[in-house]
Amino acid sequence: MSDIRLGLGELEAVIAVARRASFRQAAIDLDVSTTALSNTIAKVEASLETRLFNRTTRSVAVTEAGRIFLEQVGPALQDVRGALDAVRSHNAGASGTLRINAFATAARATLLPLLVEFLKLHPKVHVDLVTEGRLVDIVADGFDFGVRSASLVPSDMIVISLSQPRRYAVVGTPAYFARHGRPRTPPDLLNHACIRIRLPNGALFPWHFERDDEVIKLDVAGPLTLDEASVSKAVVQQGLGLGFFMEQDVQAEIDSGEFERVLEDWTPPRDNLCLYYPNRRNPSAAFKAFIALVRASQNGKDGLA
């Protein structure tokens, strides 16, 4: 095998393509052309004398060799980034880029207020926030932090709670209930128009209910299937059916009377949201500053409780 010389740019390119499973999307993330990115990946594969990705006209998939490469390179690249950021910020304070992966609801309701405060305090830091429903390996995919429900956080991560346990809510408009009546038990929903949500993996999200150790998961039916909760809320507002949301996403509409809630006794509290991150040997000033802000914000909430 020839002497392998790969720079950080080439390694970042491999991780971006693996994360996006798309050369076009990865090229947008990296702000390069698709052709340039394809040439970079070809160079890496030629240097390694092995194929990292299987490509067709419709898809890009990581090979077994690629998976092994990413598992090794991802954590190492994070350490290199951390060391570089630590040196850059030694005299300049918090600077550089923080990459965070979260799902959209968490980003909107819980993470965004923290990020706004953080960026006001540290204007030299750039935050790259990626919102997606699928679970990712934040180390292998090059993220500094992840935000997910507590039960979904890997056991080897450091965790900071961001919220109290959350609840689901089934809601509809007063006009809808006036026309169709109100469900009294979860199975009653099978006779109602329900707006369904499709998960990033293509599966339909089941409506989950619990009461007195009884668990019910329903594959409801209705006029629409959507892949975004905010669009679902807009449809429910038009009176076309019932929606299943995180309570915090529809609390304002419930409080105003625009939505009415049903089956509340069947939606107990669930996992809280957590910020999580791997242990770092050389955390940057920005990395440490963000952790300090998050911990301070949660200690403040505890003090007010």
Summarize pLDDT for 155-196 with one digit per residue, the tens.
Answer: 889 999 887 677 899 999 999 999 999 999 999 999 999 999
**Confidence category of residue 1, pLDDT binned at 50, 70, 90:** very low
Q: What pLDDT is attached to residue 304?
A: 37
Token code pair at residue 237:
């507002």
Interhelix angle 8-20/64-92, nearest 10 degrees: 120
Spatial neighbors of 9 by CB under 8 A, at least 6 apart, are 40
CATH code 1.10.10.10 for 1-62: yes
Distance CA 15, CA 24 (A): 14
pLDDT of residue 120: 93
Return the percentage of the chain with pLDDT > 70, whole number: 91
Query: Which token pair is 134?
Result: 């699928």
CATH 3.40.190.290 domain extents, the chain: 168-266
- Which candidate, 133, 131, 134, places its Cα nearest to that of 99? 131
- For domain 168-266, give the fold: D-Maltodextrin-Binding Protein; domain 2 (3.40.190)
- Pairwise CA distance, residues 268 & 162, whole Å: 19
3-state class (DSSP) for residue 4 = coil
> pLDDT: is 229 or 68 the higher one?
68
Residue 159 has what pLDDT? 93
Burial category of 63 from C-beta neighbours within 10 Å (exposed 0-12, middle 13-18, buried 19 and up) = middle
Q: Which helix (H) or strand (E) holds 35?
A: helix 34-48
- Name the residue with higher pLDDT: 241 or 13: 241
Task: Provide the 3-class DSSP secondary structure of residue 23.
Answer: helix
Q: Above 80 in pLDDT, residue 12?
A: yes
Distance CA 82, CA 143 (A): 11
Q: Which amino acid is at 23?
A: F
For the segment 236-256, the average pLDDT, to the nearest whole number, is 92
Say whether pLDDT at 303 is over 50: no
> In b/e form, how buried is each residue of 284-301, taking b as 16+ CB within 10 angstroms?
bbbbebbbebbeeebeee
CATH number for domain 71-164+271-305, candidates 3.40.190.10, 3.30.460.80, 3.40.50.150, 3.30.70.1350: 3.40.190.10
CA distance 298 to 291: 11
Q: What is the pLDDT of residue 115?
A: 94
User: What's the pLDDT score for residue 79?
Assistant: 72
Residues in contact with 271: Cβ distance below 8 Å, sequence separation at least 6, in sequence order:
149, 150, 151, 152, 165, 166
Every domain of the chain with CATH number 1.10.10.10 lies at 1-62
Model pLDDT for residues 134-144, shown as the tens digit of each residue: 788 888 888 99
